[in-house]
Structure formats: structure tokens, C-alpha cells
Amino acid sequence: MKLANRLALITGGGRGIGRAIAFAFASEGASIAVAARTRAQVENVAEEVACEFGVETLAIECDVADAASVTRAFAHTSEQFGGGPDILVNNAGIAETAPFAKTDEAMWQRHLEVNLTGTFRCTRAALPAMLERGWGRVINIASIAGKTGAPYISAYSASKHGVLGLTRSLALEVGAGGITVNAICPGYVDTEMTSRGIENIVAKTGKSADDALAVLKRSSPQNRLVTAEEVAALALLLASEEGRGINGQAINVDGGTVLF
């Protein structure tokens, strides 16, 4: 078992990519703490994972945009498992679209607070225990929007570019301590977030849902959406001993949409 005796804390763990990562890690023996704002969702995931794989799980209601909520989440994790996570997956995030002229300061701050500062807060909370034990994995779920721009996503893209800067700088800082810090940059993934994006395209353009989906698929040379399980497979590699030589990287899972 690649992750036996490891504890993983996954933010945004109630659905989509976070849920898929929880299942992938548990299948390799990791104990799982799943955190998200919606308690019912993380409770369902924790119960499903425990029933299917027999590992210890914990469901935590946590808003990464709230510093006190993050502090409580990590305290709760340490209380149940006797220490902080060996593996942190910063997956919680939001994505809203608007022309730049209509991107007000509140929308801008929401993206920075959740996508970037939330990643900062959780990583700061997890690192001391990782440094003390001389082993750790931080996996940030970014986006290909963190490498390139696109119309109508200036706040989202800026926040994800920030995640990549944090990833690279921290990887250099803690690499000698047995810790790796990497980012995964998915393209369009077949999740609820993409479904909401399709709804926005329909509302703003009058296209049918099928036509809107076709547009998103055509952004990839493979003409398809990525699956959450494909993202989870890469996260598993980065979390394992086999991935210990990968550090400070931002790896695309997008079918070849962005080639850097």
C-alpha cells in the first residue's frame, strides 16, 4: 500500500476532484480527513471512503477563507489522529466569470481569499508537523488558467497564477526537509464546477448546453473533458514515495491544451 500509515487532509473534499482524490488515497491505505464548507457532502464522502476501504476518516466543516475555521479544522484533525496531516491537498476553490470591467473588488477578493490565501493558510497550518517529522507532501490543485489567461476569468486566473508562485517558492524553501510541494493544473474537468460554467455560457450566449459543452471539449486536442479520476491519479503519484523526486512543479492534466 503506497500510503499506508499516512494521513491526508483534502480541502474541497466533498465532491469532484477532492472526492476522487480521497478515494484514490484511501485505496492505497491513507487515513482521510475531508474538509469543505458543506458538512453533508464531506460526511457522505467520509462515510463512503470508510465503508469501501476500511480506513479511518474524518469529516470537517471548514471554510478556507476564514482563518479561525482553518485553525479549528487542523486542531480537530490533530485531536482525532494524534497529529497533523502527512499529505495536504489544497483543492478548495471558486471560479466566477465576468468581463474585467464588471469584475468588482468583492469578486476579486473572493478569488484571492479562497483560491490563494486559503492555500496559504492551510499550508502554514500543515507545515510545522511535516518539518518536524521530516516528511510531507503539499499538493495544490491549480489550473491551466494559472499558466495562461483567457477572457472573463481575470480574478480566477490571477489567483491561480499566485498559487503557482507560492508552490514554486515554498518547494525551494522546504525541499531539503523531506517535503515536496507541487501543483496540478487541470483543464476542463467533468465536475459540477464545469457544469456551472456550461450553465453560464448558456445564460450569456443563448447556446444550447450541448453546444456549450462542445466548445469546452474543443479546447483540448483530445476533444474531451478530463475526469476527476485522472487528476486523482497524478495526485497519488505526487503523494507517494515514487513521486519524491518531483518538487516545485506545475503539471498539466488537460489533454494537451497548454504545452508548458
**Global pTM?**
0.96
What are 7-61's pLDDT values in tens digits? 999 999 999 999 999 999 999 999 999 999 999 999 999 999 999 999 999 999 9
Kindly indicate the confidence band of residue 144, based on its pLDDT and cuts at 50, 70 and 90.
Answer: very high
| Predicted pLDDT of residue 164 | 98
Residues with catalytic roles: 156
**What is the DSSP secondary structure assignment for residue 177, as one 8-state letter?**
G
Strand ranges of the sheet holding 7-11, from the earlier edge strand across to the other edge: 57-61, 31-36, 7-11, 87-90, 136-141, 179-186, 250-253
| Predicted pLDDT of residue 231 | 98
Interacting residues of 159 by C-beta distance below 8 A, sequence separation 6+? 111, 112, 114, 115, 116
| Predicted pLDDT of residue 216 | 86
For 145-169, b/e burial (b = at least 16 CB within 10 A) is bbbeeeebbbbbbbbbbbbbebbbe
Q: Which residue has the higher pLDDT, 190 or 162?
A: 162
C-alpha torsion sign, points 195, 106, 181, 122: negative
User: CA torsion 5→9→13→17, rounded to 10°?
Assistant: -70
Kindly indicate the confidence band of residue 218, based on its pLDDT and cuts at 50, 70 and 90.
Answer: very high
Report domain extents, the chain.
7-187+227-247, 190-225
Which H/E stretch holds residue 230? helix 228-239
Q: What is the rounded average pLDDT of the residues 83-88?
A: 98
For 7-187+227-247, CATH gives 3.40.50.720
pLDDT of 93 > 80? The answer is yes
d(CA 119, CA 243): 21
